[in-house]
Amino acid sequence: MKIGYARVSTQEQELSLQLDALKAAGCEQIYQEKITGTKKVRPELNRMMTQFRKGDAVVIWKLDRLARSLKDLVSLVNEIQEKGAELQSLHDHIDTSTSHGKFTFHIFAALAEFERDIISERTKAGLAAARARGRQGGRPKGLSQKAQHTAIIAEQLYQEGDLTVKEICQQLSISKGTFYNYLHHRGVQTGSTRGK
């Protein structure tokens, strides 16, 4: 069975061009939505991805109607093929049921891998350059001035022993993890039997 997917980015845009092309291509069922491609959650796409079966063909008007990026496209096509279905893009003349279509997607997958490697190399080079200038990457060590003040109060309340850890956290609007980090930062030994 041929299953179509049509998408436009805004409510003002029309789906009719895509729908006509998908119907002409023989799609028996068409999922459609008006939502930007940058949204991670696309309900109709997700619904379609759970509906097709082995031997089905997912038909789209253009590749950019299906995916947000090359990486996203490769991931979706792999998922479609893992379920035993194929992808056809009418405008791009791609059909993964053919050897030419499979070859095209191997190139796309290689380009996505290349793109990931370039990003990784640039990140590593940027961190190395920052270290060479005496700056460390990642989260800064130590506490901000405000956090240091809160840590002092947390230590005092803990040492006084009148409140449980839970009550101190509520008073200071911090999590238990942050509370213990503050005490550790202040060099305070904590016992496991104090209030939860």
Residues classed as catalytic: 9
Residue-wise DSSP of 129-173:
HHHHTT---SSPSS--HHHHHHHHHHHHHHHH-SS-HHHHHHHHT
Element (H, E) at 7: strand 2-8
Count of helix runs (H) and strand runs (E) in the chain: 7, 5
The distance of Cα 14 from the centroid of its chain, to the nearest Å, equals: 28
CA distance 165 to 152: 15
Could you give the CA distance from residue 49 to residue 80 in angstroms, rounded to a whole number?
Answer: 7
> What is the rounded distance in angstroms from the CA atom of residue 115 to the CA atom of residue 175?
39
The answer to whether the CB of 19 falls within 8 A of the CB of 27 is: no
